[in-house]
Amino acid sequence: MPSSNGTHSARAHDGGAIITAVRFTRIQDPFTARHDVHMPRLSGDWSLIEVCEVELASGVTGVGETIIQYTWGGVPREAVARVVGRNVFSLLWDDTLGCGLQMAIWDAAGHQAGVPSHALFGKQVRDAAPISWWCLDFDDAEWVAEAELAVGLGYTCFKLKGRPWRDVIGQLDALANVLPDGATIDLDFNAGLANAGFAVPYLKELERFPQLQIIETPIPQGDVAGNVRIRDQVRFAIAMHYGSPPIVTALHEDVCDGFVVGGGAAALANQAQVAATANKPFWLQLVGTGLTTAWTVQAGAVATHAQWPAITCMHIWQDDLIVDPLRVEGGYIKVPTGPGLGVALDREAVARLRLADPEVFPSRPARSYHLAWPASVKTGGLTIPAGRATIAGFEHDLFRALDLGNVPRNPRGITMVQEVHSA
């Protein structure tokens, strides 16, 4: 709920709180070297970012960002006409404005009121918010290098992608040798384990890794009976995206231990309240650079059950777009205490990364994926014969081949080699 503090209220009703202008700048923020190898497998290009600035009559400017091809909501251009001339405090809970614009409005409102964004969001319950490292399905050596880098930067939790075209057991074996005591892993299968019949025996094989604590979306979330069976038979906490299956069904059938929560401010507040009522922990999943990470930490400061480490993917880009980097210490980020998001936009970086034509996105070369797996490999209770396959396209094309049964799921020793074709 918005704060009832008298100072906030007085500033909310003065003429300085009126939005006078909205500006957008589209940039391409390159990925770090290892992420640049793998992120282009995704169907959307996460390097394309739209920076939004909202100016108030008082001279205050708020900033936000949208990962253009991966977001809970793009900013519709008609939204600009809806907000210019309006009091910034009247727009905080309008999720239809889209990601970057709503974030910028919250930042501007915080600056106008002279308080951190979380003071407008609700009652603060923590001074530091847990955060997790994130990366896609790298090979074993790359995962090890990522873990060593993350540990050096202060992370203690790692959210990793368990893909059917990878030897996840081999990957976890490699990680187990370098992770420090107390480090934990969340493994997201994105429904890649298909069904409970395959998932249960496979996850049983993974129970020998003590660092592995949470399994996210092992099979399609709409398979209520299958998810209940998995939760009953494996030791891991099961995380599922809030809303699928419908929240009433999810709670009634007790399909998971906690949730993945995302969306706009109103959605976050609603989901956080339901999760708290049901006594279910969750992590906030709001993908973006330092700007989005600051917003996530502000939201997490007031959510009692945002107890699992948040996911923002902050370190996959070369530039975090903020002047002073957010520091991770012991797996936590301190909640910024400055007004608004509590961070400053790095305008030099935005100018340097700006797209020459904001309506023309850089093309991406086509890719092929060469898979090979050894003979007589047992996985999930099945024996998989030797084989090879080549699949062209993006990650969803790889998943499609698995769904059709053209490639076995997670056999030991499987390798995947990418081939990048000329544009």
What was the pLDDT predicted at 403? Answer: 83
> Do 89 and 179 share a domain, yes or no?
no
Question: Would you say residue 6 has pLDDT above 60?
Answer: no
User: Does residue 167 lie within any of the structural domains?
Assistant: yes
One-letter amino acid of 416: M
User: Does residue 362 lie within any of the structural domains?
Assistant: no
- Summarised one tens digit per residue, pLDDT across range 378-392 is 655 566 678 899 999
CATH of the domain at 95: 3.30.390.10
From 341, 358, 393, give the residue that closes a domain. Answer: 341
65 CB-near residues (< 8 Å, 6+ apart): 49, 50, 51, 52, 99, 100, 103, 288, 289, 291, 292, 321
What was the pLDDT predicted at 348? Answer: 98
- What average pLDDT does range 255-265 have in this prediction? 98
> Do 159 and 299 share a domain, yes or no?
yes
> Do 193 and 305 share a domain, yes or no?
yes
Share of the chain above pLDDT 70, in %: 94
User: Does residue 64 lie within any of the structural domains?
Assistant: yes
> Do 105 and 169 share a domain, yes or no?
no
Question: Would you say residue 219 has pLDDT above 90?
Answer: yes
How many CA atoms does the CB half-sphere of 233 hold within 13 Å? 18
User: How many of the other CB atoms lie within 10 Å of CB of 308?
Assistant: 26
> Do 179 and 74 share a domain, yes or no?
no
User: Does residue 37 lie within any of the structural domains?
Assistant: yes
One-letter amino acid of 250: A
> Do 391 and 310 share a domain, yes or no?
no
The three-state secondary structure class of 133 is strand
What was the pLDDT predicted at 66? Answer: 98
Per-position b or e across 166-185, b if 16+ CB within 10 A of its CB = bbbbebbebbeeebeeebbb
Per DSSP (E only), the strands in 244-361 are 258-261, 282-284, 328-329, 332-334
User: Does residue 34 lie within any of the structural domains?
Assistant: yes
User: Does residue 279 lie within any of the structural domains?
Assistant: yes
- Summarised one tens digit per residue, pLDDT across range 103-122 is 999 999 999 999 999 999 99
Residue pair 160/214 in contact (Cβ under 8 Å)? The answer is no
How many CA atoms does the CB half-sphere of 208 hold within 13 Å? 9
Q: Which of 52-66, 105-119, 366-380, 409-423 has the lowest mean pLDDT?
A: 366-380
Which one is predicted more confidently, 412 or 302? Answer: 302
Q: 331 is written with which tokens?
A: 């797996």
Burial tier of 205 (Cβ tally within 10 Å: 0-12, 13-18, 19+):
middle
> Do 148 and 263 share a domain, yes or no?
yes
Question: Would you say residue 239 has pLDDT above 50?
Answer: yes
Domain of 99? 6-116
> Do 77 and 145 share a domain, yes or no?
no
- Summarised one tens digit per residue, pLDDT across range 309-334 is 999 999 999 999 999 999 999 999 99
What was the pLDDT predicted at 404? Answer: 78
Share of the chain above pLDDT 90, in %: 88
From 116, 140, 166, give the residue that closes a domain. Answer: 116
- Summarised one tens digit per residue, pLDDT across range 192-217 is 999 999 999 999 999 999 999 999 99
> Do 312 and 376 share a domain, yes or no?
no
> Do 160 and 303 share a domain, yes or no?
yes
> Do 100 and 147 share a domain, yes or no?
no
The number of distinct structural domains making up the chain is 3
Question: Would you say residue 406 has pLDDT above 90?
Answer: no
> Do 30 and 145 share a domain, yes or no?
no
What was the pLDDT predicted at 411? Answer: 87
d(CA 311, CA 35): 16
Provide the sign of the torsion angle of the four alpha carbons 371, 238, 314, 247, taken in this order: positive
> Minimal CA–CA distance to 56: which of 76, 85, 77?
85
CATH of the domain at 135: 3.20.20.120
User: Does residue 356 lie within any of the structural domains?
Assistant: no
From 116, 151, 178, give the residue that closes a domain. Answer: 116
- What average pLDDT does range 34-61 have in this prediction? 97
Question: Would you say residue 9 has pLDDT above 50?
Answer: no
Question: Would you say residue 420 has pLDDT above 70?
Answer: yes
User: Does residue 361 lie within any of the structural domains?
Assistant: no
